[in-house]
Structure 1
């Protein structure tokens, strides 16, 4: 009968395997967290980056487009930074806009030097207000994805003078799934549907930069803020853009959001998923352009 290794040897081997796994995970985590602000792909898209001091916050801001073009601001979703907004930013710049996309405090390139405290939805909206002042922008059009829609809702309610128009794409959170496990399951389903053009690699970088504590705190704020309680107070014209295959913010929820907005309307994009700004940037940019041109045409008629 073959000699079996003793329990001591088995424990030693398991310990070595765990140690090696931990070492490799730590090495990979540090590698992701130290990824540069702008990749070769970013530069190929013409994306520039700079820091803006907004009150106590030093916010990294991506930008693209002619300096004298109409300004559009992109607001990122949960934990992920404006890094995944780059395809949409390029598409909007090609349509004649000056696009700015800040990393909010604690996320992406604005993670360094940020207090451990995780800001709430309302606090992030107030930071956006400070950032606008620092950028010498009185009023702008804002486009948000997912959690960014909650932040923009808070901005439009707390600082209505800042908002010209709003575009809410895949707004969270559907009240039917306001708990952790359903949200995680929906995110997994969306990831499967976006496999052919996934932002997962970017997400891993941004989650590493934010850290576990901020990820957990951000999820808590996501689930706590009830966007449906604030939509009726938004004064600005608002376009809700909804993917027909979005499991995170299902189509029926997009319809409910648009119905609660005083000046809201819904555009359903057949076949689109949750991260439309990354997966379908050109189709999304065209919808935004149509919406904004409509507003400019109306103002010209008034004159």
Structure 2
């Protein structure tokens, strides 16, 4: 029995060391890789108020009317890393920007355990726009990114031409961490083999577990449905028919709450259309985005 306990202890220690080293390697993952650059996506830093923010940019080189840029806002704990497939799909028609909000991806916060509030994240997005010289844009958010954009659109309406809210969270009928975790697990099974799990592991390591948990609590405590009726910009709610996190019924309700909202469904789509089905998503929303104002 003693030998068994000693062996079990050794196995646990080895597993803990391995997990620690793997976590550190994930934290050290480079912001960009060769695949990103082959797709015409570049990365840059800008000082946005007190925040040093990283962002990805994919430029449109087509001979077309110069439109307002499209800004992609990432979801819970992740970063612009998992928005790259959508950026690549949209750059045929638009200049596309995708920032890492402060505390996530390559946009660090001064203290490891700091976590910005929803309003602070929206303020940071506005500071980033100003730092990049973008006065007005079209925005696409996924999941928790829709919560950030809803707050942003209410308080900075002059900066918003139109919004695409893809799988907005949380569904009012699942406003608890256990329910969200269960639905997310089901979604991961449905998205295989195109799940963003690998990119997610990198971003969770960079954000840290403390900030990840604090942001998860924010997701369930900040009801997006209370902000939707105050959004004046045209808005498109996009929901996949196989999304367990933001199901079709909730998507239809969210669209009705908006002043100028409508619903679009993508057959067979899941929660992270920006990663799991970027071409279908981009094809579906491009007509709505092309109806936006012409840029300068």
Smaller-chain TM-score bracket: over 0.9
| 3-state SS of 2:56 partner | strand
Residue ranges of structure 1 left out of the alignment (5+ in a row): 1-5
Q: Check whether the contact 1:105–1:114 (CA below 8 A) recurs between aligned residues.
A: no
Q: RMSD of the TM alignment (CA)?
A: 1.4
Partner Cα separation in structure 2 for residue 30 and residue 37 of structure 1: 15
The one of 14, 24, 29 aligned to 2:8: 14
Q: What are the residue-to-residue correspondences of 1:145-294 with 2, within 5 Å?
A: 145-294=142-291
Which protein has greater RCO, CA pairs closer than 8 Å, 6+ apart? 2
Residue ranges of structure 2 left out of the alignment (5+ in a row): none
Deviation at 1:268, TM superposition (A): 0.6
Q: Check whether the contact 2:150–2:228 (CA below 8 A) recurs between aligned residues.
A: yes
Per the normalisation by structure 1, the TM-score is 0.93
Deviations 1:178-226 (A, max 9, x none): 0011100100000000012111000010001111001100001111101
**2:52 aligned with 1:55, yes or no?**
no
Q: Check whether the contact 2:174–2:180 (CA below 8 A) recurs between aligned residues.
A: yes
Task: Tell me the residue number matched to 2:73.
Answer: 75
| 3-state SS of 2:106 partner | helix
Richer in helix (by share): 1
Per the normalisation by structure 2, the TM-score is 0.95
Partner Cα separation in structure 1 for residue 191 and residue 182 of structure 2: 14
Partner Cα separation in structure 2 for residue 101 and residue 72 of structure 1: 8
Bigger-Rg structure (1/2): 1
Greater shift, 199-208 or 12-21, is seen at 12-21
Greater shift, 111-120 or 164-173, is seen at 111-120
Q: In the comparison of the two structures, how many residue pairs are matched?
A: 290
Deviations 1:76-99 (A, max 9, x none): 0000101010010011101x2110
Deviations 1:63-117 (A, max 9, x none): 01148653110000000101010010011101x2110000001101113645532
Partner Cα separation in structure 1 for residue 166 and residue 192 of structure 2: 20
Q: Check whether the contact 1:76–1:148 (CA below 8 A) recurs between aligned residues.
A: yes
Deviation at 1:44, TM superposition (A): 1.9
Partner Cα separation in structure 2 for residue 18 and residue 122 of structure 1: 42
Partner Cα separation in structure 1 for residue 231 and residue 95 of structure 2: 24
Partner Cα separation in structure 2 for residue 49 and residue 112 of structure 1: 19
Partner Cα separation in structure 1 for residue 159 and residue 136 of structure 2: 4
| 3-state SS of 1:295 partner | coil
Deviation at 1:279, TM superposition (A): 1.1
**2:96 aligned with 1:124, yes or no?**
no
Deviations 1:21-59 (A, max 9, x none): 011001110111110000222122111000011000001
